[in-house]
Amino acid sequence: MNGKDRDALLSEFETHGYAASFPPDEPLPEVCAVLNATMLALLARAEHLYGRAPAGSPASVIDHPGTDRLPVALDRKDPRHYCVLVNSLANTWEEAFYVLAHEVVHLLNPASSESDAVATLEEGVAIAFAETAYTEYITPYTGSGAQRSPLRGEYTAYIAAYDAAALITASTLARVRETFGSFAHAMDKATMQRICGDEITDKQAHLLTAPFEF
Ligand SMILES: [Zn+2]
């Protein structure tokens, strides 16, 4: 993030951060402004670790009460624009932070279609990034981990994806993303092993390059 972006972000928090209550009964502009500023800060962190998102895929947070659409969705009015939907997934600011931290990893290379297969690595990195950001920024004052973490759920596919992806360092992940073009397309096990062989086992390389079963 450059200095200008950083200043704009800080002024957004100063203007709206203390006034905005969450969850909103209606999508108040100040709530969306704080969510957007948080998302941009997290996206900048993900880009710093894993490389830049392609230019021209702008994103914002849209509050859609009652929607059951995917958390990252294309804006129907503008197909070049991606939206992160947090309302159905979060009841507190802390839960919203966790959702945004997860979804910004998907925003690095947004899927163009809901039916596209996605390598398990993509989901594992998203969980690992969200867990680390939450532990760093939220846990120090709440004293606990993310309540809505998929790692607390019954669905073992998330846990296996996280366990393997969390072993890979950020610099190696940046190389994986550069090689394949995105985490979602990291579906060649031999290439994965060549890049990450020192950090994960053969079995983990197999798992991470297989399509994720949502
Ligand atoms: Zn995800």
Residues 81-104 have pLDDT tens digits of 788 887 767 888 899 899 999 999
Q: 27-74 pLDDT, tens per residue?
A: 677 777 888 889 889 999 999 999 998 876 677 776 554 455 567 777
CB-count exposure of residue 126 (10 Å: 0-12, 13-18, 19+): buried
Report how far ligand 1's centroid is from the alpha carbon of 103 (Å): 6
Report residue 43 as tokens: 């996206």
Q: 104-146 pLDDT, tens per residue?
A: 999 998 876 666 789 999 999 999 999 999 999 999 999 999 9
Report how far ligand 1's centroid is from the alpha carbon of 71 (Å): 8
Report how far ligand 1's centroid is from the alpha carbon of 42 (Å): 15
Report how far ligand 1's centroid is from the alpha carbon of 106 (Å): 7
Q: Do residues 74 and 122 make contact, with C-beta atoms less than 8 angstroms apart?
A: no
Report residue 79 as tokens: 């197909």
Report residue 15 as tokens: 């203007």
CA distance 133 to 160: 20
CA distance 212 to 122: 8
CA distance 7 to 103: 23
Q: For residue 9, which phi and psi values (nearest 5 degrees)?
A: -65, -45
Q: Do residues 108 and 197 make contact, with C-beta atoms less than 8 angstroms apart?
A: no
Report how far ligand 1's centroid is from the alpha carbon of 22 (Å): 23
CA distance 9 to 202: 42
Report how far ligand 1's centroid is from the alpha carbon of 15 (Å): 31
Q: Given pLDDT bands bounded at 50, 70 and 90, which one contains residue 197? A: very high
Q: Give me the domains of the chain, ranges plus CATH numbers.
A: 3-107 (3.30.2010), 120-209 (no CATH)
Question: Which residues are paired to 82 by β-bridges?
Answer: 59, 74
Report how far ligand 1's centroid is from the alpha carbon of 14 (Å): 30
